[in-house]
Each structure stands twice: as structure tokens, then as C-alpha cells.
A = this chain, B = another copy of it.
Amino acid sequence: MIHTAVCDMLGIKYPIFQGGMAHISDAKLAAAVSNAGGLGIISAASGDVEKLACEIDQAFSLTDKPFGVNVMLMGANIDAIAELIAEKKVAVVTTGAGTPERYIPMWKAAGIKVIPVVPSATIAKLCARAGADAVIAEGGESGGHVGDMTTMALVPQVCDAVDIPVIAAGGIADGRGVAASFMLGAVGVQVGTRFLAAEECSISPVYKAKLLKANDTATIVTGKRLGHPVRSLKSPFSRAYAKAEYTDISDDELENMAVGTLRAAVVDGDEKKGCFLAGQISGMVNKEETAAEMIAEIFNDAENILKGASQWVK
């Protein structure tokens, strides 16, 4: 058994979080991951407070294990969402796009652990000072919204900067990634892309098929010009957008190009219009399985790799 400070803090069996993926991470996926011993996470990125309340209630009905909610701090209805989370007393809240400073007292009063996603050592320090219980150091090889720094460079620098537990994210899909993260100083991992292929993940069949046949160079980052870079699978939409960024198209027109493209991928499975968010590790995700099968395999492999690590030292 791999058991770390994060397991003790949250009461979970395996130190693995399922990343909060906008329009994707729902109660069904989160509960499946939590029931399998990880930490399932519901995304609140839609900004729909009522829908989020339903998802949280549903997750409580599907699992008696801890689960979390991921909040985009720059998203819509953020105050109402923060209050709902405090009211519902979920076990964990993870946050993206900024520091959750102003909500930390309310969440902590509700007994909720606060674990921000951080793109740099500086932001990690700010979060730790504000009372975060741990941080997720996420490298830009991840899918969805990405920072500049990569997991390999970011994790040790965040570990050097803060005294709270560090969870590694970005580019982790198997036992090798878990073992490598521990060597860098992390005590847990967050995995997004691999869970896209979980049986319990309700993305369109077109999205899932596109992921399963992706290779290592199948992703692209778009959106840098407007300051909101995202990583997705190469597609007619993402290629057209990437090209447009270097033309004299206005920022408004560019922004408009992306409207509705997430929904087109997740719900409609529209190969042409969809923006299929996924990380660089897509090439390693080759079969659909249950979340429980994935987690068992990842940690079985990680255990064997870590047990064998001393072989390198003669």
C-alpha cells in the first residue's frame, strides 16, 4: 500500500485526485473515483449553482467516501458557488485561476480542506500563507487551462517554497508518473486525462474515441494571445484557432471563435467544431476501463517501481 500524508488528511485510500474537468467531472465520475479509494472531484466551472447543488447531492447519494468540488475563481457566480460548497460541507475544495484567499475562512469554518491548484512557487507561497491545507502543483502538460511551467520543473520548486503537502499534476497517467512525482517531493497526484477514458466518464463517444487513438504529439495549446491558454487534442477547430492567433483578427472575433466549442466536444461530439481538452499524456491512454481498474493498476505499478528503485544504487 502506498500511503501518504494526503491519505491521512483526507481519509482516502490512494493519494490520487481526479482532476476537476469543466463540463465533464460530474457526480457519477467523482463518486466512481471516490468509491475506488481516490478523491473524486466535481467541476463547478459551468457557473450554474442549481446544477452544482444537484451534482453534489447526487455524489453524496452515490458514495459515502470523501469527494471534492473544483472552483474556477474567475468563473461566473463564484460567490454563490463558494457559499453553496460551504453549506454542503463537501470534504475538499480545489481552486483554479488565482488564490482562494477570501473564501478560505468560510470553507475552513465548514470543515472543508482547501487545496488550490498553483502554477508557480510564488502563488503556492501565497496560498500556504492564506491557510491552504495543501497545494496541487500543475504543469502545463495537463489538459484544459495550462500554465507555463512543467511538472518536472514546477513540483520541486513548489516543494522548496512551502511546508504544506504538495500534490503533483500534469503528465501523470500511470505508475511511472506517480513514482516520479514522489521522487520530486510530492505526496500525491492529480490525474485528469486518463479518467476521460473511464467507463463512468460521460463524454461523447467521439471525444473518447479521439482520445484513445491519440499519440504523444496529438495535443496543441491555443489561447495564449488572449492570456487564457488551453491544451486540447488537435482538431479542425484547434488548428484553425491556432492559425488565427497570428493573424490580424480582432481579440473579440478570436474570443467568439471559441464560444460553444467545449460543449460541442463533450455533449455533441462534433469532430469539426469541438474543442477536445486533453493532456500530453493522451498517447498513453489506450483503453476504456472503470475508474477502479485504472486506480488499482496505477498504484500496483507505482508500488513495484518504488520498491525496485534502490536497484539503481549499487
**A contact residues vs B (CB 8 Å cutoff):** 1-4, 120-122, 139-141, 148-154, 156-157, 160, 170-172, 174, 176-177, 179-185, 215-217, 219-221, 225, 245-246, 248, 279-281, 283-284, 303, 305-307, 309-310, 312-314
Contacts and interface: CB of A to CB of B under 8 A. Distances in A.
Contacts of A180: 152, 180-181, 183-184
Determine how many copies of this chain the complex contains: 2
Contacts of A140: 150
A121 B177 contact: no
Given A141-B150, A176-B183, A185-B176, A1 B215 contact: no
Contacts of A279: 153
A171 B186 CA distance: 16
B122 A215 contact: yes
Given A2-B312, A3-B314, A313-B303, A153 B176 contact: no
Listed residue (A1, A174, A220, A306) with the most chain B CB atoms within 10 angstroms of its CB: A306
Given A121-B216, A150-B280, 7 more contacts: A1-B313, A2-B314, A141-B152, A149-B280, A176-B184, A182-B309, A309-B309
Contacts of A152: 139, 141, 150-152, 170-172, 177, 180
Contacts of A216: 120-122, 149, 153-154, 157
Listed residue (A139, A170, A185) with the most chain B CB atoms within 10 angstroms of its CB: A139
Contact of A309 (B174, B183, B248, B314): B183
A246 B251 CA distance: 11
Given A141-B149, A152-B139, A170-B152, A314 B1 contact: yes
A2 B313 CA distance: 5
Contacts of A303: 313
Contacts of A283: 121, 157
B183 A171 contact: no
7 contacts: A2-B314, A121-B217, A154-B216, A179-B309, A180-B180, A306-B312, A307-B309
